[in-house]
Amino acid sequence: MQGDLDDAVRAAAFAFLAEQARIRGEPTPPVLPLSVLQRGFEFGGHRVNLLFASKGIFKPAILPDIPISITTAPPDVRKAPPYSDGLGDDGLVSYKYRGVDRAHPDNVGLRRAMEERKPLVYFLGVAPSKYMAFWPSFITADNARDLSFLVALDLGGAVDFTALAVEENPGRSYAFRIVKQRLHQVGFRERVLAAYQRTCSFCRLRHEELLDAAHIIPDGQPRGDPVVPNGLALCKLHHAAFDSNIVGIRPDLIIEIRGDVLREIDGPMLRHGLQGLHGSSATVPRQTALRPARDRLEERYEQFRKAS
């Protein structure tokens, strides 16, 4: 009976996550807010939450022994996340024990999940209170020597877990490289929007679905790394204009519009959406460490001047 309950709760958890991703229009794997994951869902008159931010290995009270999730905390918003430390292109994660005692109940629970082939959810923090969710995930090895478990992540149908195989799989490796690319993109966006309080730096628009994280030094160029001091929270219009060098930002945070566009005569969108920004100040985070780096602004502004 306990086995039936355990399986039913896990199935309900996976259905809940899929529904949360669907209603938010999130691709696989989705990024979900901590509040939703902590609130969880109703099952048989019980509230089942899926994680606690301060507890990496989590078992809800309704389950007798085996955890339902494992979590890696979000990175420092001032730094690029070191995902490569534990996350390989093969979709395998090295997940550290709780402490150093193999007999700790949390470690015993994950060992049982491995032995009984119980699926879990792996939550990877991408920004404060935002987690990318992978399910079903499976414990595939217990490495007592380095006090860690090996976890195989589902990639949205990219791999068949029926045999729990972890051998080389070129298709799986390619799929996970795509996931990692999205992980970095999502993580950068979430960190930048959090720093800018989910507001466009240029026009103060607050509709999050219309906001992007723009690189000051473009991605792929030297120093174009995905850190908050290399980012600006911009609405989609101003992101496109910034990337096209229609709008620039000086190192003193004054916004400029390219000369030919400033002289152009068009409708109200051009007049209010772009030309009206000329000479105004960009809004930046209160914390100095999260503000745009002056040397990056100088380099990007020089590109804007050349385009003008």
At 84 the pLDDT is 38
pLDDT of 36 above 90: yes
> What pLDDT, in 10s, does the model give residues 107-128?
999 999 999 999 999 998 887 8
User: How far, in Å, CA of 46 to CA of 182, rounded?
Assistant: 35
Region of poorest pLDDT, from 105-109, 150-154, 174-178: 174-178
Task: Spell out the long-range contacts of 2-10 with Cβ–Cβ below 8 A and sequence spacing 24 or more.
Answer: 2/64, 5/62, 5/63, 5/64, 6/63, 6/64, 6/66, 6/118, 8/43, 9/43, 9/48, 9/60, 9/62, 9/63, 9/68, 10/68, 10/118, 10/119, 10/136
Summary mean pLDDT of the chain: 87
Contact by Cβ (8 Å): 285, 196? yes
User: How far, in Å, CA of 175 to CA of 157, rounded?
Assistant: 10
Question: Does residue 140 or residue 186 have the better pLDDT?
Answer: 140
User: How far, in Å, CA of 260 to CA of 152, rounded?
Assistant: 54
At 184 the pLDDT is 78
At 48 the pLDDT is 97
At 173 the pLDDT is 62
pLDDT of 44 above 50: yes
User: How far, in Å, CA of 12 to CA of 157, rounded?
Assistant: 18
Q: What is the mean predicted confidence (pLDDT) over 220-230? A: 89
Question: Chain-centre distance of CA 91, in angstroms?
Answer: 16
> What pLDDT, in 10s, does the model give residues 156-168?
543 343 443 444 5
**Apex 111 CA angle, 109 and 112, nearest 5:** 65
Tell me which residue has tokens 């404060």.
128
User: How far, in Å, CA of 124 to CA of 105, rounded?
Assistant: 22
pLDDT tier, 26 (very low <50, low <70, confident <90, very high otherwise):
confident
DSSP letter at 91 equals: S
At 150 the pLDDT is 92
At 236 the pLDDT is 97
DSSP letter at 141 equals: E
Regarding pTM above 0.85, the answer is no
Question: Does residue 208 or residue 233 have the better pLDDT?
Answer: 233
> What pLDDT, in 10s, does the model give residues 45-69?
999 999 987 789 999 999 989 999 9
Question: Does residue 263 or residue 175 have the better pLDDT?
Answer: 263
pLDDT of 240 above 80: yes
DSSP letter at 196 equals: T
192: left (phi over 0), alpha (psi -120 to 50) or beta: alpha
pLDDT above 70 coverage of the chain, percent: 85
Task: Spell out the long-range contacts of 95-98 with Cβ–Cβ below 8 A and sequence spacing 24 or more.
Answer: 95/70, 95/122, 95/148, 95/149, 95/150, 95/151, 96/147, 96/148, 97/147, 97/148, 97/149, 98/56, 98/57
Contacts of 301 by beta carbon, 8 Å cutoff, 6+ apart: 248, 249, 250, 251
Contact by Cβ (8 Å): 273, 237? yes
Q: Helix or strand or coil: residue 184? A: helix
Tell me which residue has tokens 């298709």.
171
At 303 the pLDDT is 94
Q: Helix or strand or coil: residue 214? A: strand
- Alpha-carbon distance values, 200 to 23, 32, 61 (Å): 25, 22, 42
Q: What is the mean predicted confidence (pLDDT) over 178-194? A: 82
